[in-house]
Amino acid sequence: MSRKAFFRAGWVLMTLAAVGVALLWMTVGGARRIFLIGETTAAHHQIELACESCHTAPVFAAAATAEQALNKACRNCHEDELAEADDSHPRKMFRNPRMAVYWDKLDARLCTTCHA
């Protein structure tokens, strides 16, 4: 193995090791703040670093699957509150087949359509 190839292989191995350590530090070590895309709402500040509370889909799931799982997590936490508050926009109202023409434009069956 030439000296140049040896140094190149060493550089690649050190880079991969550094990336691995950084990923472990962020996911296992709890340094997740860098993943936040903005300020967390006041109501969710207590779980802002517990990503798995809302993001329950498998890691490499399709976008639609991840969105469905995220919305299911919203309903799991807030369903009782919505029922107690006599929710004026229950999910079942938007699942009506007559609303299907609007689902491509504004899918109100999903919490995240309006509640970011």
User: 48 and 1 in one domain?
Assistant: no
Q: Please tell me the distance from the alpha carbon of residue 8 to that of residue 84, in angstroms, as a whole number.
A: 63
User: 55 and 89 in one domain?
Assistant: yes
In this predicted structure, the answer to whether residue 50 has a pLDDT above a threshold of 90 is no
> For 17-25, what is the mean pLDDT?
86
User: 51 and 24 in one domain?
Assistant: no
User: 21 and 68 in one domain?
Assistant: no
Whether the pTM exceeds 0.85: the reply is no
pLDDT at 10: 92
> For 12-32, what is the mean pLDDT?
83
Query: What 3-state class would DSSP assign to 76?
Result: helix
pLDDT at 113: 80
Number of structural domains the chain divides into: 2
User: 65 and 27 in one domain?
Assistant: no
User: 106 and 53 in one domain?
Assistant: yes
Name the pLDDT band for 8 (thresholds 50, 70, 90). Answer: very high
Residue 13's domain comprises 1-37
Task: Say which residue the tokens 């309903």 belong to.
Answer: 75
pLDDT in tens, 51-104: 788 888 988 899 889 988 988 988 888 888 877 877 667 777 777 788 777 777
Q: Please tell me the distance from the alpha carbon of residue 45 to that of residue 72, in angstroms, as a whole number.
A: 19
User: 94 and 52 in one domain?
Assistant: yes
Residue type, 82: L
User: 76 and 22 in one domain?
Assistant: no
User: Torsion angle, CA of 83/86/89/93, rounded to 10 degrees?
Assistant: 70
User: 50 and 29 in one domain?
Assistant: no
Q: What is the DSSP string of 63-112?
A: HHHHHHHHHHHHHHHHHHHHHHTT-SS-HHHHTSGGGGGGTTT--TTSGG
Name the pLDDT band for 9 (thresholds 50, 70, 90). Answer: very high
Mean pLDDT value across the chain:
81
